[in-house]
Amino acid sequence: MALPQVSEFIVVSGNTLPNESKTDVTDKQTLLAVLQFLKKHNLKGTEDFLKKETGLQDTDVSQDTSAQTASEVAHALAAYKSDDDPSIYGDHYRDLKAFIETCLDVHKVEIATILYPVFVHMYLELVYNNHEHHAREFYMRFHGDQEWYYSEDLSKLATVTKQEHMAGSQIMENFKSSKFVLKMSRDSYTHLKRYLQEKQLKTLLNIIQEHLFIDVFDGVPRTKLQIDLASGGVLGEAAREANKSKVLYGLLKEPDINIPMEEEEEGGGEGEDKPKKKKQKRDPLLSKKSKNDPNAPPTTRIPMPELKDHDKLERINAYREALKKVKMGPNSLPSICFYTFHNALQGVTSIDVSEDSSLLCTGLGDSNIRVWSLTPNKLRAMKPVDELELIDKEADDVFERMMDDTTAEETKLLLSHSGPIYGTSFSPDKSYLTSSSEDGT
């Protein structure tokens, strides 16, 4: 038996069309797919606008969509068509269980993972071929042998008792979209393969080849605990290819900012009356060009907004502050400020300090957040809206005028959660404070 592989098929059904109409049909199918997507995500405005632009009526869309859906469902269910004797399904499944019981314990738990997907597809095959009595008997006989983490899916499967039920079944939608993934060591897979080749159970072979993907790995077989931790998914375990997509975790390149260089005064010679010359002081930090991070996403993926003049000025000041920093060493140790919270009663759950060390905030166990000013500048609230309208927006100190001096305090209490605060963080410009709490917000 050949190793089952994951494959993708594109099936085109219907009558042969003239060349002139193929493009029109393709465009209409694409349009219907877009409309179906918009309807699924409740984008009513965009859906109505697209219908209006293309001249489609609701009746046309519903008829075409229903016909397309019925065709897709019929094609997907056709895989279950079989002329086999319905009584052999129970015999083959019982034979498979008996083989697993005779395997060594080290292989038994891995090979047993095949029982659930085989059970589901055998049951669906019986239902599709109108063997309702045999399907019900098969379900009642073997559904109790499945693992506990499939109990919810088995309850949904039990509601599919007739062929017409399969079109709207959620579990049917899941199983027809992808193959069921199983992971098995090479030794365990060799035992299973040998059994299938010896028995030549046609029904079982067809199900494994058509509906299952066995991911074979080199190594020791997994234990029952390891299998249970990775099992329970609707479509089995995650395939190894699922985590192979590249993650762009790098940082974007810093925007280029023209930072004016500082000027140094230099003596004009022997005479004191001679004017002093000025020369530009070149910053060594600014002379280094930032390199593109190969792990960063392309800048064109999500266009970044242009920096405002205020943001550029803050970055320039940050660069200059970084240049003034003294290199730490034995002869130049940093200064450290310690802050003590009195009467906290073990209620402080998180602490954060702003980048310029001017603000400090604490998250508390009683769901409150308290912010302190670490500088002589007190914390102030913004003026009411009617007073803000009277402010001269062109003034240089417009931000200062927006603040209400009557509300100045050294500390502010923020009420926003209903559970203990787990984390707080200031934005770089101190305009925002984010927090996370036990209440999930």
Distance, in Å, from the CA atom of 360 to the CA atom of 357, rounded to the nearest integer, reads 7
Separation in Å, CA 126 to CA 79, 152, 163, 175, 420: 12, 21, 9, 15, 55
Helix axes 186-199, 202-211, angle to 10 degrees: 140
pLDDT value of residue 16 = 35
* Nearest by Cα to 413 from 401, 404, 405, 421: 421
Domain ranges for the chain: 21-79, 83-241, 254-265+277-286+307-319, 348-437
Distance, in Å, from the CA atom of 50 to the CA atom of 31, rounded to the nearest integer, reads 9
Distance, in Å, from the CA atom of 192 to the CA atom of 187, rounded to the nearest integer, reads 9
> Residue 180 forms beta bridges with which residues?
212
Q: Is the dihedral of CA 22, 28, 30, 33 positive or negative?
A: negative
pLDDT value of residue 264 = 54
Distance, in Å, from the CA atom of 165 to the CA atom of 198, rounded to the nearest integer, reads 36
* Segments of the chain scoring below 70 in pLDDT: 1-29, 40-42, 57-84, 168, 176-177, 238-244, 259-291, 326, 346
Provide CATH code, domain 83-241.
1.25.40.500
Neighbours of 205 (CB within 10 A): 15
- The answer to whether 75 and 11 are in contact (CB under 8 A) is yes
Neighbours of 77 (CB within 10 A): 17
- The answer to whether 370 and 413 are in contact (CB under 8 A) is yes
Neighbours of 216 (CB within 10 A): 16
pLDDT value of residue 382 = 87
Distance, in Å, from the CA atom of 107 to the CA atom of 222, rounded to the nearest integer, reads 8
pLDDT value of residue 40 = 66
